[in-house]
Chains A and B, each alone.
Chain A
Amino acid sequence: MNVRALLGFVCTMCVTASAAPPDLTGVWMPETKRTEALPRPLPFTPPVQAAFDLARKTYDEHLDDAGRNCLPYGMPQSMLGTAAYPYEIIQTPNRITMLFELHMGVRRIYMDGRSIPADAMRTRMGYSVGRWEGSTLVVETAALSPQSSGFRRSERMRITERFELLTGPGEPEGKALRVHITIDDPVTYTHPLVVNKYYRYGTGKFEMSEYFCTEDLWQQIYSGNESRIPWR
């Protein structure tokens, strides 16, 4: 390669690096191999630990399992699940939308420079705002409703996610997502939980489907098969 060609190549790389942020649009499937688990046991604060210990004594895995009772996910659970349920990212100029197959969850991440409103309605998914730091998408989420089932959280939970697009020959589908997640909730946990999650690119490979759970249960009930539903 001559000097001119080399300079041209380097210049192209520069332009690529400083150009528009990467497009994360696509279907993403949780990876089980590289993904990390949360620390066990979770570092609950003393009052939460006491409630948790009481729960352990009375827990009935058939009656109390949130999933079996079709209780939908929220944050951070939607991003932590490692089971075989994909989600889709739709990236548009002022917003990034995430569609989760599981429980038909939706996240809207506002990219227009706004802050999280102090009086935002508290929800399972919370209120999310994002920004680009170079090629890294940084998302802040707050305004989460308190939850004692599924993933325990208080109103003070704040989640920071850093999305990085991984490309290269090492990636089976050509690209993957690494999401560095920090979960800070001083009411529930003695220190922030930090975890890296990986998702493989699944557009064209994994077809997203409709997921209703309660509907299936009701159909069983209406057809006189309620006694067959083992987890009710």
Chain B
Amino acid sequence: MDTIKIAIYGKGGIGKSTTVANLAVAFAEQGLKVMQIGCDPKADSTIYLHQGQPIPSVLDLIRNKGNDFALNDMVTEGYNGVLCVEAGGPTPGQGCAGRGIIAALDKLAEKGAYEQYKPQVILYDVLGDVVCGGFAMPMRDGHADWIFIVTSGENMAIHAAANIATAVQNFQSRGYAKLGGLIVNRRNVAREMEKVEELAEDIHSRIVGVLPHSPLIQEAEEQKATLMEAFPKSDMADCYRQLAGQILAVCREE
């Protein structure tokens, strides 16, 4: 099977990393080899896949060792065999995080990460909005084929999602990734589903899954684990499994 390459975008703080890490485990449960690449200078996308212990980011390795490091220095195997990578980036307020993502993803490809590990699913967890070229890198040709946007019914989340959808649309002529759909991470605000459905209609897309608000997610984080690891038999874990199935279905449509 061809590698399924997915980038997850959405407003900052909307729950992208939590969703991506749980999806990674859900895909792994299906026997798929999964690589999760955090594209955020904070380098904490995969943290609950390895008991809350930070891993060296690609950019830290480049900064400290030049090119004198191995592929497995960049890739750490986490829970359920999920391959964890963190792009990393500058300290807040300095440098260029967007350029950092480009350099990190280039280095990953240069070191042969995709050929060596042969992941069947690659998940790019991208920081916030598409504010510059660097944040569009995961949707460029050779990276993700599909974009999914995490949103709630909160107005700011919807505005960010609409903005990201516009960026995806603008890049269609370049053969960049296609918009797969919206993932609703519920915050239980008024008219939540109605507002997200309106958004889906406006951007000519669809809702591929709905994640209810669950206190178990925070409990799992207290245990420095994903919900899929800490509460695998919970209803919420089933929600992630169901979402993983729906995403795979979308990606296999074409």
Q: Do A and B bind each other?
A: no
* Interfacial residues, chain B to chain A (CB-CB below 8 A): none
* Interfacial residues, chain A to chain B (CB-CB below 8 A): none
